[in-house]
Chains A and B, each alone.
Chain A
């Protein structure tokens, strides 16, 4: 996808406000970024650096955590330098706090005495723990730990990855049991290093990241010792679980001097926070290569019977935790990329809209991109992609339209599952991510959901969420109401589709989804 977020270099826009500021680090799957925000939540400086994706075997994905830490230091220094260049009178002391958001579930173990990783980090996409997860399910299956953790036993989550490392790195289990090894998702790794590393770095994680380990009890927000025993993970490696918004320590990295490190949130939770979804029933959806939709369910963790995940949304300091339901779609923007790179029907991602706009409807065609099975709410790994309803009438433009509709109907399926689980009707959907520049898609989404779709003025909701949480912790912003006041509507799409048309189209979509299932006959 054309990602307008990456081009947000604000040099040349002279109209930015003056200090003080909050910085946020986004340690993402493909890159690390640092953004400096002003009090209105506007971007004043950005720096970004990509890191290597390491694929040792099919299905294995790793990151070099030392490279990531080097990049994080560089982007913090880079963003501070850019701010100093663009803002008259700026000094690093104008940065009042720094927050962290991160790729979730990516798992690292390192030596607490040397600060050196014992192995590359195992990335969330890495599927090497598939078999281990099945084994851990015993006779119960995927839902063995769901009541405690809100999660299915799946290879994404950190717990089984820790176990794999302990089992496969020679001598590691002994060192871990002796207390020489620390575990962390990328938030913990970055915070430990920011706050001094081997020289007194704090070993902490926040509730949102901990809720993705399969090791934390959602109700007590503490490590679950029964699960630790089942998974054979020694408690000595685990970080302390803290809130998402509090001062963990201070940092001197990148030209900063004693600046509080004051927030940590998993990336999707940070986007929920940045979209200011602070009330029960408010939801956001982030449209990238895949899509993640989260709905605030308030103070209670809602069990899902419809294929969603129960997770912690955020916790501000000593306040009660806020929970969320999460639904993920594997293929959304990735389908547009597939049309561009594999099919060659378009030359840029944005052209999908041009092609799709050249016809008034899908011509009867439906495209279900179950390229690697169906995610929420179905969770069928025997499904494969299908284009249904083809006739001689159908052109590439109809297929382009079906591609955009696929994203809309997949979102509708998640929204329906959320309504069933929570009894809360979706009143509006806040959207972000690269695909929100596609006007036809956003209109189609409003039509499919029969609810307004709204885009905020800041595209960088993930970093903004981390900045907001850090700013709250140090009193830069007084409360969440002040953050809400910062949220500005940039665009809103209202449903225009006739109810009968919507019902017919959704029914056809569901028929097409049925036809994807059972394609793979044997699991391997």
Chain B
């Protein structure tokens, strides 16, 4: 087993130094306190600064702990916050696509529906917020499995149950689906969960580019698909919506 990595040890020492005593320190204070060369210290500080763990005061040039450290300990995105941010965008997605829109997050071994916008056709529909959907067959679930490693390990440990004759049930085939999903940035479900129903979904990211959920539309296969699969117009609308929600999460505080 290799020994400790020296530069990481030094970075940790710098963070401890900035966390105690005086709140702001100049480069030479840091270097002399730790007995390091100024050049070495500067390199480490600059790397920490790029990662957001350290901030430099533009006027005095002194260093202090960065906001990213606080966020590390408090990184969980509340799903209700996610819904509040997604509201206008998912309304717009349902209107422009003419289909029901859903926002899902990973919960245990499945997709928890945290937001649902009705298909805009005045038909009687039931709100599905709180429902669970399978990870391995739905578009939302495939997106989460492809982009979130925790979801991937959940789906890999579970059974790929055949829900319809079209469900992909062999693990190798499923991994290929996930690779395709990563490559093109969206996933489809062509009657793989429910007969006659197709869906398309794309990932939602937070400000650190962590996948926090998936957004998509679901509807009758005759409307959602053409000869080549999911209609390109719907894929574009779903991806636009996912980008808009992600941008909103990146812009705001949480």
Contacts and interface: CB of A to CB of B under 8 A. Distances in A.
A292 interface: no
B92 A490 contact: no
Contacts of B240: 12-15
B94 A15 contact: no
B253 to A, nearest CB: 8
A125 interface: no
B15 interface: no
Interface residues of B, number: 37
A13 B93 CA distance: 9
A210 to B, nearest CB: 33
Interface stretch (A60-68, A280-288, A345-353, A501-509): A345-353
Interface in B115-132: 115-118, 120, 122, 125, 127, 129-130
Interface stretch (A2-10, A170-178, A194-202, A416-424): A2-10
Contacts of A16: 96
A148 interface: no
B233 to A, nearest CB: 8
Interface stretch (B48-56, B76-84, B165-173): B76-84
Contacts of A353: 80
A28 to B, nearest CB: 17
Interface string A347-391: 011111110000000000000000000000000000000000000
Contacts of A7: 85, 88, 248, 251-252
Contact of B125 (A5, A352, A457, A492): A492
Interface string B228-254: 000001001100110110011001101
Which one of B83, B88, B94, B129 has the greatest number of beta carbons of chain A within 10 Å? B88
Contact of B118 (A12, A15, A40, A492): A492
A116 B130 CA distance: 56
A416 to B, nearest CB: 25
Contacts of A40: 95
B31 interface: no
Given A13-B240, A488-B122, A350 B91 contact: no
A493 B120 CA distance: 16
B87 interface: yes
Given A13-B240, A439-B129, A458 B91 contact: yes
Interface string B91-111: 110111000000000000000
A351 B82 CA distance: 10
Interface in B185-219: none
Which one of B79, B91, B233 has the greatest number of beta carbons of chain A within 10 Å? B91
Contact of B117 (A8, A15, A491): A491
A4 B80 CA distance: 12
B254 A348 contact: yes
Contacts of B125: 489, 492
A42 interface: yes
Given A4-B87, A7-B88, A354 B78 contact: yes
A300 interface: no
Contacts, number: 98
B85 A15 contact: no
Contact of A13 (B84, B92, B129): B92
Given A5-B88, A12-B243, A350 B127 contact: no
A306 interface: no
A350 B95 CA distance: 25
A349 B78 CA distance: 10
Contacts of A29: none
A229 to B, nearest CB: 49
Interface string B4-31: 0000000000000000000000000000
Interface string A134-146: 0000000000000
Contacts of A351: 78, 80-81
A350 B244 contact: no
Given A12-B244, A488-B95, A491-B117, A459 B122 contact: no
Contacts of B248: 7
Nearest to A439: B129
A111 B122 CA distance: 51
A4 B129 CA distance: 19
B232 to A, nearest CB: 12
Contact of A4 (B79, B84, B241): B84
B122 A13 contact: no
Contacts of A14: 236, 240
Given A488-B120, A490-B118, A493-B127, A10 B92 contact: yes
A348 B92 contact: no
A492 B95 CA distance: 16
B120 A457 contact: yes
Given A4-B88, A458-B91, A459-B91, A490 B80 contact: no
Contacts of B84: 2, 4, 349-350, 434, 437-438
A459 B88 contact: yes
Nearest to A1: B84
Interface in A472-495: 488-493
5 contacts: A348-B81, A350-B78, A352-B80, A488-B94, A489-B125
Interface of B: 78-81, 83-85, 87-89, 91-92, 94-96, 115-118, 120, 122, 125, 127, 129-130, 233, 236-237, 240-241, 243-244, 247-248, 251-252, 254
